[in-house]
Amino acid sequence: MIFTESSLPGAFLIDLAPVADERGFFARTYCDEEFAAKGLGMPLRQCSVSYNTQKGTLRGLHYQGPPHEEHKLVRCTAGAIFDVIVDIRPQSPHYRRWLGTHLSAQNRRALFIPPGFAHGFITLSDDAEVYYMISVPHAPQYAQGFRWSDPAFSIQWPLAPSVVSPRDAAYPLLDASAPR
Protein backbone atom coordinates (compact mmCIF):
# COMPACT_ATOMS: atom_id res chain seq x y z
CA MET A 1 0.00 0.00 0.00
CA ILE A 2 1.10 3.52 -0.71
CA PHE A 3 0.22 6.00 2.08
CA THR A 4 0.05 9.71 1.25
CA GLU A 5 -0.76 12.09 4.11
CA SER A 6 -3.39 14.58 3.03
CA SER A 7 -3.41 18.32 3.58
CA LEU A 8 -5.41 17.61 6.76
CA PRO A 9 -2.98 15.98 9.21
CA GLY A 10 -3.93 12.48 10.29
CA ALA A 11 -5.99 11.75 7.16
CA PHE A 12 -4.32 9.61 4.49
CA LEU A 13 -5.00 8.68 0.89
CA ILE A 14 -4.11 5.04 0.36
CA ASP A 15 -3.34 3.60 -3.05
CA LEU A 16 -2.75 -0.01 -3.92
CA ALA A 17 0.66 -1.43 -4.76
CA PRO A 18 -0.50 -4.22 -7.06
CA VAL A 19 1.56 -7.23 -8.02
CA ALA A 20 0.51 -8.02 -11.57
CA ASP A 21 0.81 -11.09 -13.76
CA GLU A 22 -1.06 -12.61 -16.71
CA ARG A 23 -4.15 -13.17 -14.53
CA GLY A 24 -4.49 -9.55 -13.42
CA PHE A 25 -3.14 -8.37 -10.08
CA PHE A 26 -3.21 -8.98 -6.34
CA ALA A 27 -2.97 -6.15 -3.81
CA ARG A 28 -3.31 -5.70 -0.09
CA THR A 29 -6.04 -3.27 0.97
CA TYR A 30 -5.46 -3.40 4.72
CA CYS A 31 -2.70 -4.68 7.01
CA ASP A 32 -2.47 -4.01 10.76
CA GLU A 33 1.34 -3.93 10.59
CA GLU A 34 1.52 -1.43 7.73
CA PHE A 35 -1.04 0.86 9.36
CA ALA A 36 0.80 0.64 12.72
CA ALA A 37 4.08 1.52 11.00
CA LYS A 38 2.43 4.77 9.82
CA GLY A 39 1.15 5.51 13.35
CA LEU A 40 -2.37 4.47 12.39
CA GLY A 41 -2.41 1.34 14.54
CA MET A 42 -5.93 0.83 15.78
CA PRO A 43 -8.09 -2.22 15.26
CA LEU A 44 -10.76 -1.86 12.63
CA ARG A 45 -13.65 -3.79 14.19
CA GLN A 46 -16.68 -3.27 11.97
CA CYS A 47 -17.22 -3.37 8.21
CA SER A 48 -20.22 -1.77 6.54
CA VAL A 49 -21.47 -1.16 3.00
CA SER A 50 -23.44 1.82 1.70
CA TYR A 51 -25.21 1.08 -1.58
CA ASN A 52 -26.61 4.06 -3.48
CA THR A 53 -28.88 3.59 -6.49
CA GLN A 54 -28.82 7.11 -7.92
CA LYS A 55 -26.10 9.44 -9.10
CA GLY A 56 -26.28 12.60 -6.95
CA THR A 57 -27.06 10.79 -3.69
CA LEU A 58 -25.49 12.73 -0.83
CA ARG A 59 -24.69 11.20 2.56
CA GLY A 60 -23.24 13.20 5.41
CA LEU A 61 -21.63 15.01 7.02
CA HIS A 62 -21.48 12.36 9.80
CA TYR A 63 -19.32 11.64 12.81
CA GLN A 64 -19.54 9.79 16.13
CA GLY A 65 -19.29 11.92 19.27
CA PRO A 66 -17.31 11.08 22.43
CA PRO A 67 -16.69 8.52 23.75
CA HIS A 68 -17.38 6.65 20.48
CA GLU A 69 -15.13 8.56 18.07
CA GLU A 70 -14.12 6.39 15.14
CA HIS A 71 -11.34 5.82 12.69
CA LYS A 72 -12.64 4.94 9.22
CA LEU A 73 -11.10 3.44 6.13
CA VAL A 74 -13.39 4.21 3.17
CA ARG A 75 -13.21 2.69 -0.32
CA CYS A 76 -15.61 2.83 -3.28
CA THR A 77 -16.02 -0.72 -4.60
CA ALA A 78 -18.55 0.00 -7.38
CA GLY A 79 -19.14 3.20 -9.30
CA ALA A 80 -17.64 6.48 -8.12
CA ILE A 81 -18.02 9.05 -5.34
CA PHE A 82 -16.63 12.41 -4.33
CA ASP A 83 -15.63 11.79 -0.71
CA VAL A 84 -15.29 14.70 1.72
CA ILE A 85 -13.87 15.12 5.21
CA VAL A 86 -14.02 18.25 7.35
CA ASP A 87 -11.74 18.95 10.30
CA ILE A 88 -14.10 19.63 13.23
CA ARG A 89 -11.44 19.66 15.97
CA PRO A 90 -11.91 23.14 17.52
CA GLN A 91 -8.24 23.43 18.58
CA SER A 92 -6.85 22.30 15.22
CA PRO A 93 -5.09 24.87 13.01
CA HIS A 94 -7.09 23.24 10.17
CA TYR A 95 -10.47 23.66 11.90
CA ARG A 96 -13.36 23.83 9.37
CA ARG A 97 -11.09 23.01 6.41
CA TRP A 98 -12.27 20.27 4.10
CA LEU A 99 -10.67 17.80 1.74
CA GLY A 100 -12.43 16.18 -1.19
CA THR A 101 -11.18 13.27 -3.25
CA HIS A 102 -12.53 11.00 -5.94
CA LEU A 103 -12.85 7.38 -4.87
CA SER A 104 -13.93 4.85 -7.47
CA ALA A 105 -13.89 1.20 -8.35
CA GLN A 106 -11.54 2.20 -11.16
CA ASN A 107 -8.89 4.07 -9.11
CA ARG A 108 -9.21 1.68 -6.11
CA ARG A 109 -8.08 4.46 -3.75
CA ALA A 110 -9.07 4.55 -0.08
CA LEU A 111 -9.31 7.38 2.42
CA PHE A 112 -8.26 6.89 6.05
CA ILE A 113 -10.21 9.22 8.36
CA PRO A 114 -9.16 9.71 11.99
CA PRO A 115 -11.44 10.91 14.82
CA GLY A 116 -12.21 14.62 14.76
CA PHE A 117 -13.45 14.70 11.18
CA ALA A 118 -16.96 14.80 9.77
CA HIS A 119 -17.40 12.61 6.69
CA GLY A 120 -19.73 12.65 3.71
CA PHE A 121 -19.88 11.88 0.02
CA ILE A 122 -21.91 12.39 -3.12
CA THR A 123 -22.28 9.65 -5.71
CA LEU A 124 -20.89 10.41 -9.16
CA SER A 125 -22.54 7.37 -10.73
CA ASP A 126 -25.62 5.22 -10.36
CA ASP A 127 -25.15 2.03 -8.33
CA ALA A 128 -22.25 3.32 -6.23
CA GLU A 129 -21.16 1.10 -3.37
CA VAL A 130 -18.97 2.34 -0.53
CA TYR A 131 -17.16 -0.05 1.82
CA TYR A 132 -16.21 1.13 5.31
CA MET A 133 -13.87 -0.40 7.87
CA ILE A 134 -14.54 1.24 11.24
CA SER A 135 -12.69 1.10 14.56
CA VAL A 136 -15.73 1.03 16.88
CA PRO A 137 -19.21 -0.42 16.56
CA HIS A 138 -21.84 2.10 15.54
CA ALA A 139 -23.50 3.72 18.56
CA PRO A 140 -26.63 5.48 17.27
CA GLN A 141 -26.98 7.62 20.39
CA TYR A 142 -23.58 9.21 19.59
CA ALA A 143 -24.25 9.75 15.87
CA GLN A 144 -23.92 13.43 14.99
CA GLY A 145 -23.46 15.58 11.94
CA PHE A 146 -23.39 18.91 10.22
CA ARG A 147 -25.35 20.01 7.19
CA TRP A 148 -23.62 19.18 3.92
CA SER A 149 -24.22 22.73 2.64
CA ASP A 150 -22.93 24.55 5.73
CA PRO A 151 -21.38 27.89 4.61
CA ALA A 152 -18.84 27.57 7.45
CA PHE A 153 -17.19 24.82 5.38
CA SER A 154 -17.90 26.09 1.82
CA ILE A 155 -17.50 22.61 0.35
CA GLN A 156 -17.28 22.67 -3.44
CA TRP A 157 -19.42 19.64 -4.31
CA PRO A 158 -18.94 18.61 -7.97
CA LEU A 159 -22.72 18.41 -8.57
CA ALA A 160 -25.94 19.36 -6.85
CA PRO A 161 -27.43 16.53 -4.81
CA SER A 162 -30.62 14.90 -6.08
CA VAL A 163 -31.15 12.65 -3.04
CA VAL A 164 -30.54 13.71 0.58
CA SER A 165 -32.11 11.95 3.55
CA PRO A 166 -34.38 13.99 5.85
CA ARG A 167 -31.92 13.37 8.70
CA ASP A 168 -28.94 14.68 6.71
CA ALA A 169 -30.94 17.69 5.46
CA ALA A 170 -31.89 18.56 9.06
CA TYR A 171 -28.39 18.48 10.58
CA PRO A 172 -27.45 21.80 12.18
CA LEU A 173 -25.09 24.38 10.79
CA LEU A 174 -21.82 24.89 12.62
CA ASP A 175 -22.05 28.01 14.73
CA ALA A 176 -19.17 29.90 13.13
CA SER A 177 -19.29 32.52 15.88
CA ALA A 178 -18.73 29.98 18.68
CA PRO A 179 -15.39 30.33 20.50
CA ARG A 180 -12.70 27.84 19.50
Residues 6+ apart with CB under 8 A from 53: 126, 127
Catalytic residue chosen out of the listed positions 63, 71, 119, 132? 132
Tell me which of 30, 62, 119, 142 is the catalytic residue: 62
Sign of the CA dihedral with 123 first, then 7, 131, and 88 last: negative
Active site residue 51: no
Distance CA 180, CA 159 (A): 31
71 is catalytic: no
Q: Which amino acid is at 28?
A: R
What does the alpha-carbon distance between residue 176 and residue 170 come to, in Å, rounded to a whole number?
18
Catalytic residues: 62, 132
